[in-house]
A and B are shown apart, each in its own frame.
Chain A
Amino acid sequence: MARISRGFHGRRPEVDPDRVPPGQYVTQDFPVLSAGPTPHTPLDEWSFSILGAVEKPVNWLWDEFKALPSETFTADIHCVTKWSKLDTTWTGVSLDTLLEQAEPKAKFVLAFCDGGYTTNVPLADLLGGRAWIAYEYDGQPLEPEHGGPARLLVPHLYFWKSAKWVRGIELHDHDEPGFWERYGYHNYGDPWKEQRYWND
């Protein structure tokens, strides 16, 4: 049981505990967190690949990717640095649509990105209408600082799993920690269980 912080009363914002995970506060801003410079990849050099343990490796160029069936969806997002943003609206391609074409043969996924960032997600968490490659935010092309031209979006996990500047995913037989996961962040990252760091 935590000790009382003398003189602290907090702001007790009215939040819905069914929507805001423990330890999070709601922001109207859209903070930016990245480990290095923002990459700027021209669209004519951009592609998205599904590689590794799959029946059929797939690669889409930008125009091909934009021609895939897209969805517009609204989700709450939760950053490990404690902010949550409610009702964010995105447009992108469901991972169900993408993975169907590749036919995965393994259960572990490592997403890779421009700039060298990686993050791991179990395949099961990318299926069932819970993950997208998003290229629009609020009806506009996704800003580079928020991961444009396209980012992975897995709203039910902490936001570092929603890899910015994503360029593909690799299917693996074994789980392989990504960038932040090697630096002390939780391997899975469920905001509702406050899986922030190793041992959480």
Chain B
Amino acid sequence: MWRYGTVTALIDETPHAKTIELEVPDWPGHAAGQHVDVRLTADDGYQAQRSYSIASAPEEPRLALTVERIDDGEVSPYLTGELRLGDELELRGPIGGHFTWRADDDGPLLLIAGGSGLVPLMAMLRHRAARSSEVDARLLVSARSLDDALYRDELETLAASDGVLLHHTFTREPPVGWTGFARRIDADMLRAVGPSPTARPRIFVCGPTAFVERADDLLVELGHDPATIRSERFGPTGG
């Protein structure tokens, strides 16, 4: 079933990514980590569909999608460049029940994001905060530079006030004076972020395919049970 959401806010997250807030009157609710299908229709009936992760917690009144612009894409340039307040967006969902976390699922929680792979993991952290969950939660975000890092202020707040252990690694252009990680993820980094495999964390990894393949392989090598690792890959291979 396709529904219509009305755009109530458009937020620039980075130079390449925008959050679209939608009022969806008959939204049935979702679990953190799920996605929606978005369908665009041209005036001659031509349609294009893509899937986008939900960024908002189930508890929030508006549905939020954070969309990264892919320059040669067909749908993301429209969503990040053309969409205006008050426009209607056709969507379907929520979809997916594997890559989800509910506060009742407990933890500990290890979230690993490559680039815009942070979006569904952010829904989990927002859900954790909305439910005042005290589950041990650790987040490792890999981004090329500060310009590519989503939700930084909100993450700092969650780290300062809500007990989320936050790590960024900047792989291309670390900020001046940066003392944190500044390399591609590796075993030492994952060991430092923790928790150890003996704590049996629920692990969610989301990002470009090569990133997820690497993170998953490292986690398995470190001794994490593959059954505790849930992954979402996107984008072309070999890139």
Residues of A within 8 A of B (CB): 2-12, 23, 25, 27, 29-39, 81-82, 115-116, 145, 179-180, 182-184, 197, 199
Residue from B40, B231, B235 within 8 A of A8 (CB atoms): B40
Q: Give chain A nearest CB distance to B110 CB in angstroms.
A: 13
Q: Is the CB of B40 within 8 A of A5?
A: yes
Contacts A4-B41, A30-B237 given; does A82 touch B46 at CB 8 Å:
no
Q: Give chain B nearest CB distance to A163 CB in angstroms.
A: 15
B60 within 8 A of A: no
The residues of B that contact A81 with a CB separation of less than 8 Å are: 51
Q: Is the CB of B82 within 8 A of A7?
A: yes
Residues of B within 8 A of A (CB): 1-2, 4, 39-43, 46-51, 74, 78, 82-84, 87-90, 92, 95-99, 209, 213, 216-217, 219-220, 226-227, 229-231, 233-238
Between A and B, 26 residue pairs with Cβ closer than 8 Å are A2-B39, A4-B43, A5-B78, A5-B88, A9-B42, A11-B48, A12-B42, A23-B47, A23-B49, A25-B48, A29-B236, A31-B233, A31-B235, A33-B233, A34-B231, A35-B230, A36-B227, A37-B219, A37-B231, A38-B213, A38-B216, A115-B226, A145-B213, A179-B98, A180-B98, A182-B97
Q: Give chain B nearest CB distance to A115 CB in angstroms.
A: 6
From B98, B234, B238, name the one whose CB has the most chain A CB atoms within 10 angstroms: B98
Residue from B42, B97, B231, B235 within 8 A of A184 (CB atoms): B97
Cα distance A33–B208 when bound, in Å? 10
